[in-house]
Structure 1
Amino acid sequence: MSLTSVKMAEEVWLACLTHALSTETEEIMGLLLGDVQYTENGKATALIWGALPQPRSDRQKDRVETNPEQLTAASAEAEISFFQFSLTHE
């Protein structure tokens, strides 16, 4: 099923914008944290509540790579954030 809309917290949008503008012409990457909410009529909305910008580990123009340790740490932080978010929004 495809998404019909995306809702993103303002601080997430600002974090993504700041990350993009601070790297100027380089490509960027990061993780967006959120969930998908389904309605009774079959529509799906992505609810984005967090962002984890990732620094580049390789400075070649034609690729964007991140350090595996940083990606693992970001993944662990995402899991912790998900459980904290779930508990506060029950």
Structure 2
Amino acid sequence: MSLTSVKMSEDVWLTCFTHSFSSETEEIMGLLLGDVQHSKNGSVTALIWGALPQPRSDRRKDRVETNPEQLTAASVLAEISFL
């Protein structure tokens, strides 16, 4: 399965944009929350409805890591959002 298109809200785009400029000299990471929509014509669209920027827990230039606690909290938020 490959994506045909991606749709995201303006709020999600602005969250990603702001996160990227807040640490423009470093790599960043975050989680996108959404759904996959399959259409009858075979196209597949990712519908992104949430963004969770993750702060770096390791400041070395060759590492982009986050705390397990932050990932767990993001996972819980995603589960709650699906309900």
> When the two structures are superposed, what TM-score results if normalisation uses the length of structure 1?
0.90
Equivalent residue number for residue 47 of structure 2: 47
Structure 2 gaps of 5+ residues are none
Q: Whose helix proportion is higher, 1 or 2?
A: 1
Partner residue in 1 for 2:27: 27
Counting only pairs closer than 5 Å after superposition, residues 1-90 of structure 1 correspond to structure 2 as: 1-83=1-83
Give me the TM-score of the superposition, normalised by structure 2: 0.97
> Which ranges in structure 1 are unaligned for 5 or more consecutive residues?
84-90
Q: CA RMSD in A?
A: 0.6
Count of equivalent residues:
83
After TM superposition, what 4+ stretches of structure 1 lie above 3 angstroms from structure 2? Answer: none
